[in-house]
Structure 1
Amino acid sequence: MSQLQDSRSQHDGDQGEAIKGEIRKYLGYWYWFALGVVLALVAAFIYLRYTPKVYTTKAKIKILNKTKGLELPSAAFVFNRSNINLENEIEIIKSYRIVEDVVDKLDLTMQFFEEGNVLTTEIGDVPFQLLKTVSNDSIFTSSSYAIEVLPKAFKVTALDSNQVIEFPDFESTNTSHNLPFELSKSQFIDLNKYVGKVYIVQLHPLSSVTRGLKSAVEVSILGQASDLLELNFKSQSKTKNERILNTLIEVFNQDGINDRQDISRRTIDFIDERFGKLAKELDSIESGIKTYKQDNDIITLETDAELGLSQRTLAEQELFDIEQQLMLAGLLKETLSQPNSTSDLLPANIGLSSTSINGLVDNYNALVLQRDNLITSAGENNPNVMVLNAQISDVRANIFASIESYSKQLKASKSQIRRKNQKFASKVYSLPAKEKIITDITRQREIKQSLYLFLLQKREEAAINLAITEPSIKVVEYALSQGAPISPNTKSTYLIAMLGGLVVPFGIIYLLFLLDTKIKGREDIVRLNSKVPIVGELPKVKSEHLVFSDPEDNSNQSEAFRILSSNVNYILPVSNTGKVIYCTSTIKGEGKTYVSLNLSLALSSINKKVLLIGADLRNPQIHTHIDQDKHKPGLSNYLHDINFDWKESLIKGFEKHPNHSILLSGDIPPNPAQLLTNGRFTKLIEEAKEEYDYIIVDTAPTILVTDTMLISQLADATVYLARANYTEKNLLNYSKDLAETGKLKNVAYVINSVGASKSYGYGYNYGYNYGYGIKK
């Protein structure tokens, strides 16, 4: 648990240090931030000084409810909400027709500007009388005129054609010209105050000004459940803003009033026209009722109905009686037609109305009775019986004939009565249709009468509305301009300028840091390779040819190398013989020779015997610091010639360092790797360790040649050079790998040129170009 807390605290501390490091990195460029802020504030001041001031003006109106009459309460009424469509009202306010009327009333096709030394500002009017002599509809193209006030005249220049006209005594009517306006001096204004000033007059087509004003006017709703509208307009002139908004409100209000007055007038005209038509229609309806009654013999519908029903009842009764007689006659005929009916009596008085048939039936029954009596006494063959049978047959035939004749007579009467009944029935049946027609005509008359009365009422209402028309809006707040301009905003401009003055340098520096892949100091090395210690940070000097030649030197450079020598001692193992220190780097130019030389001098300054060996056989540089010949015999000669004594080639390069010796690299060999591994270099180190306290070896860079790795096992410590603003960060991974794999022993970093805050553009290549030919 404690380990976890320790790791967390360590992480927080590292993070805090990283943040502090970033802040310090940017604070090193504080002068750029200060310069950026100063330049931004100056630019903001110039911008505010010469940018036209724009003012905003606002007005508020309430849209009145235009609905009238007795209306059923709607949901909006129940919940006390407005049923006015404010979006429609906004579109009407900003309509081309309304805005064009405003432009025409205010004569906005003409604009005025005052010309300054740098800035030309729009103004509401000029300090003299200017009368436009052309109508708005006759302006088809834009034109501009400059009016300069001279001591005794107006000087007008047509900017489109460069035509110049002067009007003496400030009066243009005395001079012939083709300008679209007349100029004169105002009796209330002293023009001597305006001498030398130039005013610009611009004329624009009505359509273009209207479209511009239409898009510039802003109308918005104040709240969701509100009937209030806010009108907003911006320009360089407060007076112009207020005139435009107040006129727009006036025109919109009058437009609503005119609409309702037009409705009232049209209503009255329509009703007057309908009155004449309704009078004619009512006369036509009355005449139609009269003609219909005459054509259909109608007195009243009730009387005609009563008469028709009584006649129809009588006809139906007669038809019933005839049907009864036909049925009785049919029954009698059926009786006569039955077999053996000659011996039977016929029914008498069955209800037949025919006296002849009833008489024949009575006669028949009498003959049948007489015959039956005679048969009883004399028998059937009696001549008298036979005579009676013959008479009965004759009477029977007469009955048949009478029935047929009577039936035909009844059927004829039936047909006649049926036709008569149908006539009465049709007369009765036609009464509802006639009544319907009369009712329809009467209804039309009543409708026309009620419509006449309704229109008469509406005409009176329209006449009243026309005489007293209420306004369509209520002005809540007339046009009111703000005191300070909305553009440019002074506070916001300065604030943005200060922010920009900080952000722009920060962004540039950030990009430089982002694109800069070189190390800057200790933090970069610790971040990339925290396991290898850093034993020294050397300040940047103007020239690396300056060496630690005076043991008593107290410069920053000298103190830095003294600190480096002390720190190196801490990483060296305890030994009774001399200690071997390698100085190497990744690439050329990181200062390993410079550090090797000065480190050896620092150790020599504390009375230690020091040997500096130039082991960079491919590109030796020590000779440049001590003014020696590059080809002076040295290490390469010793490695190549077994008879060569290295002690004879030692150089005392510094008078004040008697304990300091130098073994130069010697001639540049073609095969340095073979020479370094032939065993003589090991022998040299072993011999030197017996005579010297410290052996400083200036080795070759490690990135492309293996010279240093071939002899690395002989070192007690390896000082690895990295140069600020020169060494690439990704190259540290190479040195990290050498240390972790043991290819270099006891590695410690030394940072060269610390304190440089920016890259000075050192050119380098990742390749380490060495010559392989021996130069003579």
Structure 2
Amino acid sequence: MDNNSDNTFFQQDESHVDIKHEVKKYLRFWPWFLLSVFITLSVAYIYLRYSPRIFQTSTKIKILDESDGLELPTSAFVFKRSNINLENEIEILTSYRIIEQVVRELKLNTTFQEEGQIQTSQLAELPFRFDQHIQPDSITGNYQYEILVNDSNFEVKDVKTDEELIFQGHDSYSKSHNLPFDIKLNNHKILSSIKGKKYVVNLFPIKPAILRLKSKIKTEPIGEVSDLLMLSMTSESTAYSERVLDTLVSVFNKDGIYDRQKVSKNTLDFIENRFIFLAEELDSIEVNKKEFKQANNLVFLETDAELSLQKRTQSEEELFDIENQISLVELIKDVLVKPNTIGDLLPSNIGLENGNVNELISQYNLAVLEYNKYVSSGGINNPMVKQLSTTIDGLKSNINGSLLSYLNQLKVARKQFEGRNSKIRGEVGSIPEKEKLMRAINRQQKIKESLYLLLLQKREEAAINLAITEPSIKIVEYALSGSRPISPKSNIIYAAAILAGFLLPFGTLYLFFMLDTKVHDKKDVERVVKNVPIIGQIPEVKDKSKLIFEDPNDRSILSESFRILSSNVRYVLPRKDSDDGQVIFCTSTIKGEGKTYVSINLSLALSSLNKKVLLIGADLRNPQIHTYSTKDKNALGLSNYLYDTKIDWKQILIKGFKNHQTHDVLLSGSIPPNPAHLLTNGRFDLLIEEAKKLYDYIIVDTAPTILVTDTMLISHLSDIHVYIVKANYTEKNLLEFSKELNESGKLKNMAYVVNSVGASKSHGYGYNYGYGYGYSEQN
């Protein structure tokens, strides 16, 4: 039978991963997996038992756009937003200024906790009366006080100074102390439920409290085109979170209302100042009119100039409107030129008939409000503040330019009307000059009266606006907390614990297997060397007294394994036409892999088949065959024969095993100084040729291949090289060396034997040679 067929028979396809084999490696350690899962589940249970429960609280609000609602006649004085910018509203909601108002209103730089045996839980408030005397701004450091509730008193300890105070009757008001608060138990019915408990009061500066709350509040729009916002925060105490969110919404709403009320208030202040000036002018006109009539005896106009007077009256009315507009323009210009700060507002919609000027004034007031808001929240150096300052300056310049342009138009129109009036006055030249002066006085009086009435109306409108300012937001849903905590999630924790329970031992084993460099069975050999057959696996024998196959009829696991090996060796040996015996070299990569052990037992297994077998100890540097016999290490052997031509090798053979009569042994002999020279002097070749005529099998125990070249020097004499690999001893990287020997042809017709299989039960390699045949380890 040719070698190709042998290799095909003994070599398995390793192009795929043996899943069953890999799983069995890990399943052998199933107790460790169970223990690991038990430990991780226990840790998860303890964690869930004592970790704080975190709840989520949320509220929903709608940002109101006033243009969507019912417009009152006073809407000209209300701060209007035609478009809602939710990003701006979110920034304002979570701004330092708004959060600061919430912290100050709720005194959130004072926190309460209940101290348990293992964990401390947060409280929204203490179960008894607590009155804080120190103002939030006065707290400059961190202070902590522990309050222990006893049967008859409160025991308060200053953690910072270790000072302890005892308040009998659960009342601190009855005793003088230097604590920044007072406590009192008003309802003694709850004493039984809080007795023995310890509460912790923490006081810290207001700025850290603001920053801490600012980081906790999350604000996000609901939907992409909606004007709804959802505010949420997480905390151990749902009452604390709900109170904070509801207060935040209230503060934000009040802030928006205040902005719009400020516009109306500034308008009222402006009108009140103008009233004083107009009242003085009207009084002066009335006095002048009275004195003029008394001095000139004026009564009524004659009816004969009625038509001309009608024309003049119409012209004067038109001139009156122009004069009225000029007065209003001059009025606004007076406000513009007065020295004022950038945050002052301009009066809007006071009667100007120029739409461009009115629009600019509205834009100017909106910009001033935005400027004041960002200065309050971000400071004067805020980039948005600087941008708004530039915008306000530009708007003021535009307003001034528009007023000048409008004033020029009015003056041109007035000039035209005055020219026309001069023509009309020529037609009514019969009217006395004194009457003309009287009409001038009346005209001035009418202008001032109409302006006075107009401002009076606007003042009433602004006052109504101030009283009925619409809210900034609509609360869609008050702060609500979930019934179940969002953290920790027990199902996720337990799932992670189970996963970790499996992954920890798996990862450990995987790392151990990955770092393991030893060969454990034939699969490890097959992964590296794919074209060399593995003809046997020799199990590990614990009982050192049963290492040799002494009884040909033995039925132990060791005997059966070597019978299988001998059968496979005979199968892979090349077929010969002659009756000459066949030569089997047993070698290995390094010493200690069991080549001598395998050589002896393989020879005995072949001898048990009534075959004539010669065992030769060709490892001249480290002979070991003599240890399995009664002969001395220096007994005559192969080295003596190779060195001394007078010695006949047949005369120095021994019978090492009494139950194997067809088995002879040629020991290694004395250790020579030059083994390589002796093996290549020709006498070893002659010995093999002679032995092949006398024996069926010649088993040669050779030297390790990686240490010396002895084996390669005589390898041409072998029909098959049995290469020994020891489980849990041979390094996997050494297989590359044997692979190279085979591929280069230095060792022809190689076959592997894995020795001591089962030495590492940690890898799940177990083999029972007695399965199904009734064999056991008993002889």
TM surpasses 0.5: yes
1:220-243: per-residue Cα shift (whole Å, max 9, x none)?
A: 111110111111111111111111
Partner Cα separation in structure 2 for residue 15 and residue 30 of structure 1 = 28
TM-score calculated relative to the size of structure 1: 0.70
1:274-315: per-residue Cα shift (whole Å, max 9, x none)?
A: 344466789999999xxxxxxxxxxxxx99xxxxxxxxxxxx
| Closer, same or farther: CA 658–434 of 1 in aligned 2, 3 Å | closer
Partner Cα separation in structure 2 for residue 703 and residue 31 of structure 1 = 41
Where does structure 1 lack aligned partners over 5 or more consecutive residues?
1-11, 72-80, 289-301, 304-430, 761-776
One-letter amino acid matched to 2:199: Y
Aligned match for 2:726, one of 723, 730, 747: 723
Task: Map 1:70-469; keep pairs closer than 5 Å.
Answer: 83-187=83-187, 189-277=189-277, 435=415, 455-469=455-469
Aligned match for 2:676, one of 673, 679, 682: 673
Partner Cα separation in structure 1 for residue 597 and residue 278 of structure 2 = 123
**Which SS does the other structure have where 1:711 is aligned?**
helix
TM-score calculated relative to the size of structure 2: 0.70
Bigger Cα displacement from structure 2, 577-586 vs 172-181? 172-181
Partner Cα separation in structure 2 for residue 684 and residue 727 of structure 1 = 32
One-letter amino acid matched to 1:642: T
Partner of 1:532: 532
**Which SS does the other structure have where 1:507 is aligned?**
helix
Task: Indicate if the aligned counterparts of 1:148 and 1:196 stay in contact, CA closer than 8 A.
Answer: yes
Partner Cα separation in structure 2 for residue 738 and residue 157 of structure 1 = 84
| Closer, same or farther: CA 673–287 of 1 in aligned 2, 3 Å | farther
Q: CA deviation at 1:604?
A: 2.7
Partner of 1:399: none
| Closer, same or farther: CA 281–141 of 1 in aligned 2, 3 Å | same
Q: CA deviation at 1:551?
A: 3.4
Task: Indicate if the aligned counterparts of 1:520 and 1:725 stay in contact, CA closer than 8 A.
Answer: yes
Partner Cα separation in structure 2 for residue 714 and residue 60 of structure 1 = 94
| Closer, same or farther: CA 505–468 of 1 in aligned 2, 3 Å | same
Partner of 1:478: 478
Where does structure 2 lack aligned partners over 5 or more consecutive residues?
1-11, 73-80, 289-307, 310-410, 422-439, 764-779
Aligned match for 1:578, one of 577, 581, 604: 581
Partner of 1:683: 686
Bigger Cα displacement from structure 2, 237-246 vs 527-536? 527-536
| Closer, same or farther: CA 281–25 of 1 in aligned 2, 3 Å | farther
Task: Indicate if the aligned counterparts of 2:152 and 2:168 stay in contact, CA closer than 8 A.
Answer: yes
Partner Cα separation in structure 2 for residue 692 and residue 455 of structure 1 = 138
| Closer, same or farther: CA 589–544 of 1 in aligned 2, 3 Å | farther
Partner Cα separation in structure 1 for residue 221 and residue 630 of structure 2 = 90
**Which SS does the other structure have where 2:729 is aligned?**
coil
1:694 to 2:697 alignment: yes
Partner of 2:376: none
| Closer, same or farther: CA 684–186 of 1 in aligned 2, 3 Å | farther
Q: CA deviation at 1:535?
A: 0.7
| Closer, same or farther: CA 729–283 of 1 in aligned 2, 3 Å | farther
| Closer, same or farther: CA 742–37 of 1 in aligned 2, 3 Å | same
One-letter amino acid matched to 1:200: V
1:745 to 2:777 alignment: no
1:644 to 2:643 alignment: no
Q: CA deviation at 1:247?
A: 1.5
One-letter amino acid matched to 1:572: L
| Closer, same or farther: CA 633–158 of 1 in aligned 2, 3 Å | farther
Partner Cα separation in structure 2 for residue 232 and residue 161 of structure 1 = 38
1:711 to 2:714 alignment: yes
Partner Cα separation in structure 2 for residue 198 and residue 587 of structure 1 = 73
1:734 to 2:730 alignment: no
1:583-611: per-residue Cα shift (whole Å, max 9, x none)?
A: 11122232212221222222233333322
**Which SS does the other structure have where 2:189 is aligned?**
coil
Q: CA deviation at 1:434?
A: 9.7
Partner of 1:599: 602
Task: Indicate if the aligned counterparts of 1:82 and 1:226 stay in contact, CA closer than 8 A.
Answer: no
| Closer, same or farther: CA 455–513 of 1 in aligned 2, 3 Å | farther
Partner Cα separation in structure 2 for residue 615 and residue 260 of structure 1 = 110
Partner of 1:391: none
Partner of 1:332: none
Task: Indicate if the aligned counterparts of 1:600 and 1:612 stay in contact, CA closer than 8 A.
Answer: yes
Q: CA deviation at 1:149?
A: 1.9
Partner Cα separation in structure 2 for residue 432 and residue 485 of structure 1 = 76
Task: Indicate if the aligned counterparts of 2:535 and 2:752 stay in contact, CA closer than 8 A.
Answer: yes
1:475-530: per-residue Cα shift (whole Å, max 9, x none)?
A: 11111111221122211222222223333433333334444444443333333322
1:380-420: per-residue Cα shift (whole Å, max 9, x none)?
A: xxxxxxxxxxxxxxxxxxxxxxxxxxxxxxxxxxxxxxxxx
1:352-380: per-residue Cα shift (whole Å, max 9, x none)?
A: xxxxxxxxxxxxxxxxxxxxxxxxxxxxx
Partner Cα separation in structure 2 for residue 485 and residue 674 of structure 1 = 86
| Closer, same or farther: CA 433–676 of 1 in aligned 2, 3 Å | closer
**Which SS does the other structure have where 2:732 is aligned?**
coil
Partner Cα separation in structure 2 for residue 93 and residue 48 of structure 1 = 35
Q: CA deviation at 1:64?
A: 0.8
Q: CA deviation at 1:182?
A: 1.7
Partner Cα separation in structure 2 for residue 648 and residue 448 of structure 1 = 155
Partner Cα separation in structure 2 for residue 118 and residue 662 of structure 1 = 78
Partner Cα separation in structure 2 for residue 121 and residue 434 of structure 1 = 80
Task: Indicate if the aligned counterparts of 2:595 and 2:724 stay in contact, CA closer than 8 A.
Answer: yes
Partner Cα separation in structure 2 for residue 239 and residue 499 of structure 1 = 36
One-letter amino acid matched to 1:740: E
1:711-755: per-residue Cα shift (whole Å, max 9, x none)?
A: 112112110122334333343333223223332222111122334
One-letter amino acid matched to 1:564: L
Partner Cα separation in structure 2 for residue 440 and residue 493 of structure 1 = 95
Task: Indicate if the aligned counterparts of 2:55 and 2:234 stay in contact, CA closer than 8 A.
Answer: yes
Partner of 2:6: none
Task: Indicate if the aligned counterparts of 2:536 and 2:568 stay in contact, CA closer than 8 A.
Answer: yes
1:612-633: per-residue Cα shift (whole Å, max 9, x none)?
A: 2211111222233446533232
Bigger Cα displacement from structure 2, 49-58 vs 231-240? 49-58
Aligned match for 1:635, one of 632, 638, 661: 638
| Closer, same or farther: CA 16–530 of 1 in aligned 2, 3 Å | closer
One-letter amino acid matched to 1:127: P
Question: Rg: which structure is higher?
Answer: 1
Partner Cα separation in structure 2 for residue 669 and residue 40 of structure 1 = 64
Q: CA deviation at 1:185?
A: 1.9
Q: CA deviation at 1:695?
A: 1.7
Partner of 1:46: 46
Identity %: 56
Partner Cα separation in structure 2 for residue 590 and residue 259 of structure 1 = 93
1:236-281: per-residue Cα shift (whole Å, max 9, x none)?
A: 1111111111121122222222332333222212222234446678
One-letter amino acid matched to 1:588: K
Partner of 1:405: none
Task: Indicate if the aligned counterparts of 2:14 and 2:527 stay in contact, CA closer than 8 A.
Answer: no
Partner of 2:368: none
One-letter amino acid matched to 1:619: N
RMSD of equivalent CA atoms:
3.7
1:131-183: per-residue Cα shift (whole Å, max 9, x none)?
A: 22222222111111121222222222211111122222222233332222222
Task: Map 1:58-69; keep pairs closer than 5 Å.
Answer: 58-67=58-67
Q: CA deviation at 1:215?
A: 1.3
**Which SS does the other structure have where 2:562 is aligned?**
helix
1:510 to 2:510 alignment: yes
Task: Indicate if the aligned counterparts of 2:14 and 2:526 stay in contact, CA closer than 8 A.
Answer: no
Partner Cα separation in structure 2 for residue 756 and residue 562 of structure 1 = 21
Q: CA deviation at 1:187?
A: 1.7
